[in-house]
Amino acid sequence: MQKITPFLWFDDKAEEAMNFYVSIFKNSKVGTVTRYGEAGPGPKGTVMSATFQLDGQEFFALNGGPHYKFTPAISFFVNCETQQEVDQLWDKLSAGGRKDRCGWLQDKYGLSWQIIPSVLGKFLQDKDAKRSQRVMQAMLQMEKLDIKKLEQAYE
């Protein structure tokens, strides 16, 4: 078991969200699902909590009710090696949610994600300040990040 596990509080969609996320990421699986019994506090048989893995990373989800909501202050940063991976994750995770700027999106459950090509970090850390500034300016104009456009700005 990993030492630190992200804990996601949902109103009542933990199982649906878990199945959605597991369907998107490779090397992912549903773990355990615990359901409410006679004692509640949720309706008997509904999901209380669930564990799952996304690309080998453990997560814990809880149907805790409407008390708390996700905010963009916490997001999941996903390193992508290819434009195809960026495109697929962007399209799937943003469906029914919201597309934001600079590779950020919010999924239909309100959880924020950053879908980022790995090469971006290399470009932004370049010792040539003019190059990295051009890449930053290009990125600031995008919603979904485009590797070719970032590469053009870097050249």
Rg (CA), the chain: 18
> Within this chain, do residues 77 and 151 fall inside the same structural domain, yes or no?
yes
- Say if residue 102 is in the same domain as residue 146: yes
**Total structural domains within the chain:** 2
pLDDT in tens, 7-25: 999 999 999 999 999 999 9
- What's the whole-model pTM score? 0.93
Range of the domain at 99: 70-155
SS3 97: coil
| Domain containing residue 2: CATH number | 3.30.720.100
CA distance 33 to 99: 30
Residues 75 and 145 in one domain: yes
Q: Tokens 């992508």 map to which residue?
A: 80
Cis amide prior to 41 (ω within 30 degrees): yes
Q: Are residues 88 and 59 in the same domain?
A: no
Tell me, yes or no, whether 64 and 83 share the same domain: no
Q: Which of 45, 68, 91 is the C-terminal boundary of a domain? A: 68
Residue pLDDT, tens place only, 98-147: 999 999 999 999 999 999 999 999 999 999 999 999 999 999 999 999 99
Distance CA 97, CA 146 (A): 20
Task: Identify the CA nearest to 105 among candidates 91, 88, 117, 119.
Answer: 91
Q: Which two tokens stand for residue 130?
A: 């003019």
Residue 3 has pLDDT above 80, yes or no: yes
Domain boundary among the residues 20, 43, 68 is at: 68
Q: Distance between CA atoms of 94 and 40, rounded to whole angstroms?
A: 33
Residue 48: which residues within 8 A CB-CB, separation 6 or more?
A: 34, 35, 36, 42, 62, 63
Last residue of a domain, one of 68, 87, 113: 68
85 and 33 within one domain: no
